[in-house]
Amino acid sequence: MKFRNFKMVSFVVYGRGSFNQLDEILAPHRKGDAPMIFLVDHFFENGAPTGDGKSLISRIPLRGKDKIIFADVTYEPKTTQVDKLAKQLKDEFGTVSGVIGIGGGSTLDLAKAVSLMMNNPGSSADYQGWDLVKVPGVYKAGIPTLSGTGAEVSRTTVLTGPTRKLGMNSDFTPFDQIVLDPELTANAPVNQRFYTGMDCYIHCIESLEGTYLNEFSKSYGEKALELCREVFVNKDKWDAECDDKLMMASYAGGMSIAYSQVGVAHAVSYGLSYLLGTKHGIGNCIVMNHLEPYYPEGVKEFKKMVEKNNIDIPVGICKGLTDEQFDTMINVSLGMKPLWENALGKDWEKIMTREKLRALYEKL
């Protein structure tokens, strides 16, 4: 099809305190005594609280054999991690009623992938690509506790596999349910919140300045960008309204990807994360810091936001890398063809040479 037929998330609930409805939301999806599995960002393991002061963990509506599994998202999700989790659940329970991801983009992606691998044979690495998944997963819900990635509405789940970093992109990948409760993001660490928020800001810039855009993606991208500005440029202090708006920015930014594509920052950042394990949000920021030639206005505003919000952007992370390591990053990055084409047009290969990309990596 010339125009993508975009699969939407089935149900959305938005509201401060809507997390309290989770038990009621899950009830109709319980199958006999098969448990709901809550895959929770390890950030909450030590009892980290949500906006209302109670620990998130204590608020999870456990019933029967339900289980909380903490997801170690120190690094971004790997196909091996997904396969191991799915095997563990099959061994312990045979089947489960559903997988509920609670956390940032990594946790949400992990939940989507594990749900799919409960019903699809083989390894998740077999499904890295477009429309390779042929069987729906078990019921899956996503509950973001960090805003910016758009993972809550995307049709992908980005995984680092044995040979590549690529998502399981399919119509079976989007969540059946998302719960958007801005209270859950209130206690996120300031730097992490910024890096993740910038994932949204940066992909809006990349998408709005790209060549793939249409009015659907433009409407969502413009709104997301405006909300990012309200939060990171106009506001002088973080407050509840910032949590509300950034959560909608993330959602709208994710929706805008339906008919657009990210660009230079994401393409270069994928190389970093493949080689060095640099996480997505911070990796994008490290790269964006040096992209004046490609996004002059966007980079200017980005630097203003970094300064205003007192954020540290690491520098010198590519210092001392070998030629071979630079080559690995360059290969991974140049492999992201649609991103480069969106950013630089059909003739992108003439513009972004290996030498030019190497020089960019050396600056980071």
Chain residues binding its own copies by CB under 8 A are 1-15, 17-18, 20-21, 24-25, 177, 180, 182, 214-216, 219, 222-223, 227, 241, 244-245, 247-248, 251-252, 258-259
All residues at 6 or more sequence positions from 312 whose CB lies less than 8 Å from its CB, including other chains? 191
Give CA separation, 130 vs 29, 86, 90, 103, 171, in Å.
28, 21, 26, 25, 9
Query: Which CB, 77 or 197, lies closer to its own copies?
Result: 197
Q: Are strands 165-169 and 158-160 parallel, antiparallel or unpaired?
A: antiparallel
- Complex with its own copies: residue 17 or 345, whichever CB lies closer: 17
Q: How far is the CB of 22 from its own copies (least distance, A)?
A: 11
**Smallest gap from residue 217 Cβ to its own copies (A):** 8
- C-beta of 20 vs 211, nearer to its own copies: 20
- With respect to its own copies, which residue has the nearer C-beta, 233 or 315? 233
Tell me how far CA of residue 211 lies from CA of 198, 208, 250, 337, 342, in angstroms.
21, 8, 22, 13, 5
253 vs 271, beta carbon nearer its own copies:
253
Count CA atoms within 13 Å of residue 18 on its CB side: 18
**How many C-beta atoms lie closer than 10 Å to residue 13's C-beta?**
15
Q: At what angle are helices 337-344 and 190-208 packed, to 10 degrees?
A: 60
Output the six-digit token pair for 82. Answer: 């997904």
Q: CB 260 → its own copies: shortest distance, Å?
A: 11
State in angstroms the smallest separation of the CB of 82 from its own copies: 25
Kindly state the smallest distance separating residue 151's Cβ from its own copies, in Å.
17
Whether the Cβ atoms of residue 22 and residue 189 lie closer than 8 Å to each other? no
What does the buried/exposed string (b/e) look like for 33-44 if buried means 16 or more CB atoms within 10 Å of the residue's CB?
ebbbbbbbbebb
Q: Which is nearer to its own copies, 2 or 350 (CB)?
A: 2
Least CB distance to its own copies at residue 168 (A): 19
- Give me the least distance between CB of 11 and its own copies, in Å please: 5
Q: For residues 132 and 351, which CB has a smaller minimum distance to its own copies in the complex?
A: 132
- Give the shortest CB-117-to-its own copies separation in angstroms: 23
Cα 190 from Cα 207, distance rounded (Å)? 26
Q: Which is nearer to its own copies, 1 or 310 (CB)?
A: 1
- Longest Cα separation, the chain: 60
**Closer by beta carbon to its own copies, 20 or else 55:** 20
In angstroms, the CA 337 to CA 342 distance is 9
Q: What single string gives the DSSP state of each residue in 144-193?
A: ESS-SS-TTT-S--EEE-SS-EEEEESTT-S-SEEEE-GGGGTT--HHHH
- Write out the two tokens for 301: 């505003």
Name the minimum Å distance from CB 331 to its own copies.
33
